[in-house]
Amino acid sequence: MSDSGELSFSDKDDVKRKTEDDNSRGTKRKKRKDSPSSSSSTSSSSSSSSSSSSSSESDDTSLSESEGPPAPSKAKKSKLTHVINPRKIFIHEYLMSKLCVSDVKRLPAEINQKYQMVQKEIIGKFASGDYAKKPINFRIDEITRAGASAQKAFNPGPTVAEYFLKKNGITLKHPQLPCLVQSGGGKHKSFYPMELLFFAQ
């Protein structure tokens, strides 16, 4: 400053620098003050966005719950492709019922005692068997008095029980039961174990 009280050029430069420094300090302070508010605004915006997302999620869940489970699709009913056959009536079981015999071991003796009655019951009816590769079906022409373990399949030859074991690999459970006879041409006869046969439907 000059003696006259006026500011010299050097003094003016000092004042200008001072004011610029003050202004720069003020802006720095302002920025520092503004920074937490901006962070708070960002946090508030993030919280608002999260709350909005959560609300949207809750809206989605409420929609899905209100919609409920999907309706079950109507499955096509499959049509039956086969007819259920009635139970096979095995001939020895039928005779046990007719002769009031509860023990199958007693059946041969009962058949021999009431042989004529048994003949009337079964002769002329048709018997079936599915123990072999091809099912058989024949008319019953006769019933033997001897059991499959004693009756010869053909003379000379094995018994019916032995023949079925050798030819079909079947071991009879009741070899004492009589055989059913199919008459062929001439004197030819075929013998079948009773326990393997049932009445044809």
Model confidence pLDDT, tens digit, residues 50-89: 444 444 444 444 444 444 555 555 545 444 333 334 568 8
Distances, alpha carbon 172 to alpha carbons 120, 125, 137, 175, in Å: 26, 23, 20, 5
88 Cβ neighbours under 8 A, 6+ residues apart: 198
Among 111, 71, 84, which Cα is nearest to 95's? Answer: 111
Q: What is the pLDDT of residue 71?
A: 57
Rounded mean pLDDT of 159-166? 96
The superfamily (CATH) of domain 91-199 is paz domain (2.170.260.10)
pTM: 0.56
CA dihedral sign of residues 114, 120, 124, 125:
negative
Tracing tokens 């050029």 back to the chain, one arrives at: 9
Q: Where are the chain's structural domains?
A: 7-68, 91-199
Model confidence pLDDT, tens digit, residues 108-160: 999 999 999 999 999 999 999 999 888 999 999 999 999 999 999 988 899 99
Between strands 189-193 and 136-139, the pairing is unpaired
